[in-house]
Structure 1
Amino acid sequence: MGREELFLTFSFSSGFQESNVKTFCSKNILAILGFSSIIAVIALLAVGLTQNKALPENVKYGIVLDAGSSHTSLYIYKWPAEKENDTGVVHQVEECRVKGPGISKFVQKVNEIGIYLTDCMERAREVIPRSQHQETPVYLGATAGMRLLRMESEELADRVLDVVERSLSNYPFDFQGARIITGQEEGAYGWITINYLLGKFSQVSSNEILRDPCFHPGYKKVVNVSDLYKTPCTKRFEMTLPFQQFEIQGIGNYQQCHQRILELFNTSYCPYSQCAFNGIFLPPLQGDFGAFSAFYFVMKFLNLTSEKVSQEKVTEMMKKFCAQPWEEIKTSYAGVKEKYLSEYCFSGTYILSLLLQGYHFTADSWEHIHFIGKIQGSDAGWTLGYMLNLTNMIPAEQPLSTPLSHSTYVFLMVLFSLVLFTVAIIGLLIFHKPSYFWKDMV
């Protein structure tokens, strides 16, 4: 075989091997790509099905037993775990009436209480999913029958409750205790139930408006609920509301504002012969009275400080002022800050309510009230009295004494007066008769 033939044979062999390698690689790549595609499709289907799978119902359950005087009823409630405004949207899903009388009738047969509650508690097992048994709270509230039993014998009432608690604790629920609720609590909880079911609470999450008679008609202001409880006086009344803000809308009604303010004065209790309010002693109203500081500034703004204005006239003018539209008030008093301007209706009404109903001033004694800003150039307020009181508490020091005694002072004054008189006489003689003076000297 020649060199040319050998070269051709080698070239053909090499090309054939290269072709086989390419074919093998192509098949493997196609297989890998196909397998990857199948895996990707399966994964997409799995993810899609998992993501769109119906979620299990995320709810909570609760059980309340109403142990009344004539019978006991068990109620099962259900609500979404996601609360609205921090309050569970609760629905009743089951009611089971326990056969037999109220639990107070078992005072002489407490060993039967467990059997007495069995049927309804077993019904609760069936209604509530097993997976939620341990996290379902159970409460028992005893009302009139047990209240009467406790009045007769607290020991017997506690004995009945102890057996009830032991019986309910045997079930797989989260028992929270049994207690006797007061008549006031029963009424309050009933009020909550009625207003909740009528949708009154939710109507407050959608319409957070407070119509206030102590502000002028047309006045509006948005208030943060948290701002209501920032002062020490209101902190103890803090409560959770289903909204963060509310809007005040003024209606400008003096009489309604007056009635609201009177609710602040407790006049139902007086341990003395006569009281102002809140059990504070009030002496007879005699003589003249000076009203200063805020009393003066508010009444001065309202142009009611004149002693010639009667109490009836003051009240009538306050009614008219409060009823004026807010836009009209702002125009009439353009130079006054709105924060202060908006509160004069309330402040004036409060002062009148305090003086008339709080301190019991009448139309006649009103004439003895003097609204005072200054007296002899000094502001009528607490600061001067405060200083006077403190200076009275400072120990008095010894008065400063003169350097000389009185007798020494008189003697020296006479002596030097005589010397001065003598010098003056001699001077006059020298001035008028100098020759006579020098002749004598010679």
Structure 2
Amino acid sequence: MLRIEIESLVTGIDGMTVLMTVETASVENLITGFIFERRLRPEIAPDFCLTDARGNILKRHRTVASYDMKDGDKVYLIKNKRQLLFGCRNWTILATLSSLIAIVGLSVITYLYTKSAAFPFDYVVVIDAGSTHSDLYVFQWRGEKFRNTGVVEEIATSRCEGEGLANYNDISSAADSLQGCIQLASTTIPPHALGATEIYLGATAGMRLLMLSNATAATLLMQEVRAVICGKSRFKCSLDNIRIISGEEEAAYGWISVNFLGKTLAYAGSSPFSYGALDLGGASTQTAYSTSTNATVSLQLFSERYDLYSQSYLCYGLRETERMVGASLIMEQNSTVVNNPCRPFGNATSMPYDSIFGHVCTKGFSTAFPNSTIFTMKGTSNSAECKIHVRHIFHAANPTHVPDKLTIRSPEDRREFMAFSGYYSTMEFLNLSRSTGDRVSLSAFRNHTDAFCARSWKEISMLDPSDPHSPYLTMYCFNAHFVDVLLTDAYGFTDQTFENIIFIEKVGGTSIGWPLGMALNATNARASEMPPEPAISPVTFGILLTVFLLLLLSAILCALKAIRVARHHRNYQPLSTYGAI
């Protein structure tokens, strides 16, 4: 028998134990005997090993004799080196790192495979070439359309420099006035999308009037505009998209705009209700509403058919009607100095003959004054007289001097209308409406109109010159009375139905107007885009998915191993009894 001393260097199992053994006993027997003497659980034996005085690890299967141990020799108990390297803490760290790498990897490849496969944005540019100015609108929508129509949103808008196209004497200057807006659109749209982005220009009543008075000049002007837009920009340009649009088109596009933003079209859910549209420009006025009888135009939007009564009245815009009132006052007073009740007292404005009688809408007014005459319009601030003269233009016995005679057609009962452009700007100036829309009583409107029309030029000219209303202060009395007579005498709105009109400029930041309707209609002709290839191919995605899932599985296994090692560590505590060994 040999007496072998085993000294423990393991924390929690300190001290020395003496074992009596034989030379044929294995190192494994020594470890098992130590655990038995120390009353430890036998299953923890694999966690330990023995070393000699020099730190050499004794192999478990070899015998005491093979190591030439003598009676009284000492060996040392330590934790198995492999177990020290992969203890509970190590397995926990490995599990945590593996799970983090797997989760992050799965998230990244999923994002790359799905996010980049979304439909790209398509864009469309619309220029509203109006009678007094031109405006730019840039819209975008996802290439994936909803029931064949793109759900567009406005991303940029800007007033172009200069006047309306028809107001230039030189066609090159007229066309070049659009360059700034074209450049702005080019910088708004991503460079890679410019070549696929269609650009539209719709010339409205100002150019329709020029076409009536001088078709050759109007044709040459539009050719020059096409040359500038198609020749000096990177947009996808079709000559058919740069044109003079009809009044009925303008009215129908306005209807699309108000009902798209009012969420009554099919993309927002089926609705039997729709808004009527009231548009008022400088040279014409438009109205459109859905009808089951006497439709003048049919539209296809979001795979639904809409039948509309759509009408435009040339010359019944704000500026052309004011011009007709001026011509009527000159004929009535037969003087070069004309008292104008629609202008503020104390204001006198000089107006050349051609600025009044040299236009299509006043060709029917005869006067004996020579073409070189300069007229002076003197304001008298007479609200009642102003309304009489505005009404006279609508109710003249034979108003055949205008291209379109205004048809008095009352809207259907209880129908709600959105009124924008000149309607809104008039109400907003009188502090009766905000851009998001307001209803106004007819009595309140007329009271505000009379109060403003009674003010002198000295009173109203105190407005800050930087205010956008400042250049038009002499016109707002006329504008208000014109809106009143147009809506009540011509369209038939009453004290009760007047409040069915919402005077509005924008909905959710998007401008109401025919350009939005044109953009929506244009998307019908565009094929739906196919989603682009994802950043990683399906094969690559499948391989990486498998790798990261295996890594996640290994993290789970490491976590289970950490739990097992932790349980073993708890077994180092001595047993209360020997038990059966």
TM-score of the pair, normalised by structure 1: 0.42
Higher normalized strand content (fraction of residues):
2
Using CA pairs under 8 Å that are at least 6 residues apart, name the structure with larger relative contact order, 1 or 2.
2
The structure with more helix, counted as a fraction of residues: 1
Determine which structure has more spread, i.e. the larger CA radius of gyration.
Answer: 1
**Normalised TM-score (structure 2):** 0.33
